[in-house]
Structure 1
């Protein structure tokens, strides 16, 4: 007979709230307790009750999260006060700052400014940053007070590296939801950032650089030409969890525009007008795609009929891929190598075209030469006859001709009678 945990358990909704307040995913909590993520999902939805040793460990963990949440007010302010005072005293003399620290602070400031703040569809204001499965942002306490001044000293490469460092991991996970292929997701994000580095003046002046790169990555990920690649024909290893496999299968069976709308609205958290603008559709068309995608997912997975639960499951599915992006210098180097290759190819093609044009001008005729008409067959001409033996009359004629003067016959003179 199993015993219920001695530590009291909060209600199912409170369990999930405590986990999210402690910045833990279901996979992380399941690893700490020693169960599967599907078991944690069942505990939080109320479908099952924690029991045994794992239930006791789960109850203790939730109690610790509740205690940590209750003591973050006064204690947290007291603990952060010395650090703030020390930082403010150091920032009073900007001449003593190290240049590398200022550049790092400026990069963090620019990256935080580039992160899209999603509108709160339930209220009317703005919600907090996007989940860690979709956007990676530094904590506000890590941003020094002189970050806006340091951001002005950034070079284009440092600004690009800052944008890539804070947006690339989330974009790789989003591309994985769109394609279901890890290599294609990484390649899509790298190609999008390479295109952004090629057009960096345009991207840097864009009101939403992260949205610019996200749109480029989505376009590359959903391109239909990938199906002709040999590596695309090989099957991709599915997620280990059965629920994640079912959700990914439903997503991949949606049409690409519907899949993109669902990921942008229920995954990333964009508003309906922003989703319609990024998918190049009207607001009514985007709403229709979203409703159709939600109905399809709910028909296959009834537990995901709630948009909040669908949002959480999308974040968990994106986190199970264990995807990693390349380093920013490698992406910039790849973009520069690609640009050098196409520049040299264009120069070589131009030189070949100039050479062919010069050769044509040197060898072409300078006057008009009418073409020789083709030969025609003449009808009615008898075939040539070979010479044969002479007859008697022909011999007499030949002898007579030979006997005459070489200059011709004798001259005839008239005679008078």
Structure 2
């Protein structure tokens, strides 16, 4: 039997055998796996704090699982007007995390497919596996994709083209056999290799009886397809067109499960798997995707993690062979032709209500960074964008400051975004943030 516990980011779970505690023997293994996950920078501080009396989550969410135990870490995703102090149900947070992942990673998550899934009791990993199985089963019922694949066989009668070189060398002494090259319509292709590899990987980690049953049925459907490791799959040979476009969504799931984000680890006597997401990165990617939709017909472009201008340069003259130092990489750059009207840095941090702190918990280093962006990129508006949460006023924050002096043209905007609002409202809100004063 596998035990399962769920906590929120920055939450604490003490050692013990209670329903809200983690047995210490499992805690040691979970902490060791977190340390080896690749998100810790060589230590466990990036995922979990391994204390004397319990574990504390950091800013990484997802699932860490060892034999016999799963720890799920959920983000604190609140909407405008919600009171976090009353405790948002974990199934609600789980669903909101899935929604963010769906947008950020282009996953096909429809309302109908989510009906009946175990939001209350299953971890986010089991929910994602269930969504993948549901979508793949629908696609398989319509038939596996096939492509013509070149085959070479020695046959008693000519089929296709004659392989002249082989015929008059290897088969010179057996003229009754013909070296043939011909095309065969085969399902043993790269796209099916990806799906087979995903089913194989998930079959070893799924705990839900429904998921395990679905994966067994899918494994039977892919019997006869080569079971290749992810690194051996020829991803570059996958071509999606009108005949197989329904597989596009499933490829997004497969990339999630087969990429480095999902990890299986064996370290000494500790083994298990993790599916983890840094919330800073997830929030940035989510805002990027929604903002691209918001700007689709505005004539504005969006660059993520671009720019790459340096703060300092060596050399006294422009003709010098100079080299830049301290290269910058803004989260999101909004472009209008050659002009940059806005730069956005997303921050997965909880702003403090103004009544508690006039600076609202905004980091001085973040302000300095945005001021540097305004100068380097000749941008009149730079923005710090935070998630809205229940401790703030109900309306989203949109505060403008003049940079360096009163009345300055360059402005820094501090804003929040309500992740729980309907998608159409979120899109409209981001569009107004970018285009409202142009």
Same-fold status (TM-score > 0.5): no
Q: Which has the higher helix share?
A: 1
Q: Which has the higher strand share?
A: 2
TM-score band, normalised by shorter chain: under 0.3
Q: Which structure has the greater CA radius of gyration?
A: 1
